[in-house]
Homo-oligomer: A and B are copies of this chain.
Amino acid sequence: MIKAGIIGSTGYAGGELVRLLLGHRETEIVWYGSRSYVDKKYYQVYQNMFQIVDAVCLDDNMEELAQQADVIFTATPQGLCASLVNETILAKTKVIDLSADFRIKDVKVYEEWYKIEHKSPQFLEEAVYGLCEINREAVKKARLVANPGCYTTCSILTIYPLLKEGLIDASTIIVDAKSGTSGAGRGAKTDNLFCEVNENMKAYGVTSHRHTPEIEEQLGYAAGEPVYISFTPHLVPMNRGILATAYATLKPGVTQEQVRAAYDKYYEKEAFIRVLDQDVCPQTKWVEGSNYVDINFKIDKRTNRVIMMGAIDNLVKGAAGQAVQNMNLMFGLKETMGLELVPVFP
Q: Is the CB of B190 within 8 A of A193?
A: no
Q: What is the minimal beta-carbon distance from A173 to any residue of chain B, in angstroms? A: 9
CB pair A236–B201 under 8 Å, yes or no, is yes
Q: A195 interface residue, CB < 8 Å from B? A: yes
Complex copy number for this chain: 4
Residues 228-249 of A at the B interface (beta carbon under 8 Å): 228-230, 232, 234, 236-241, 243, 245, 247
Known A-B contacts A48-B342, A230-B300, A346-B182; the reply to A206 vs B307 at CB < 8 A is: yes
Q: Is A67 an interface residue (CB 8 A)?
A: no
User: Which of A197, A202, A342 gathers most chain B CB within 10 Å?
Assistant: A202
Interchain CA distance A199-B298 in the complex, whole Å:
24
Using known A-B contacts A300-B207, A342-B22, determine if residue A198 contacts B234 with beta carbons closer than 8 Å: no
Question: In chain B, what residue has the closest Cβ to A49?
Answer: B342
> Once the chains are docked, how many angstroms separate the CA of A230 from the CA of B247?
9
Give min CB distance, A28 to chain B, whole Å.
Answer: 15
Q: What is the size, in residues, of chain A's interface with B at 8 Å between Cβ atoms?
A: 82
Within A270-307, the residues touching B (CB, 8 Å) are 274, 276-277, 280-290, 294, 298-303, 305, 307
Name the CB-closest residue of B to A298. Answer: B206
Q: Is the CB of A186 within 8 A of B194?
A: no
Contact of A199 among B23, B47, B49, B238 (CB under 8 A): B238
Known: A51-B274, A186-B195, A201-B178. A46 touches B345 (CB 8 A): yes
Q: For the complex, is A12 an interface residue (Cβ under 8 Å from B)?
A: yes
Q: Is the CB of A178 within 8 A of B181?
A: no
Task: Scan residues 210-232 of chain A and give those whose CB is less than 8 A from a CB of chain B.
Answer: 228-230, 232
0/1 interface trace, chain A 26-65, chain B, CB 8 Å (1 if under): 0000000000000000000011111110000000000000
Which 10 residue pairs across A and B have the least CB separation, nearest first? A48-B343, A200-B285, A195-B346, A176-B176, A194-B197, A202-B283, A207-B300, A206-B298, A48-B286, A48-B345
Q: A12-B195, A207-B302, A230-B303 given. 17 additional CB < 8 A pairs?
A: A19-B345, A47-B294, A48-B343, A176-B176, A178-B201, A181-B193, A186-B193, A186-B195, A199-B199, A199-B288, A201-B241, A202-B281, A207-B299, A207-B307, A237-B238, A247-B247, A289-B289
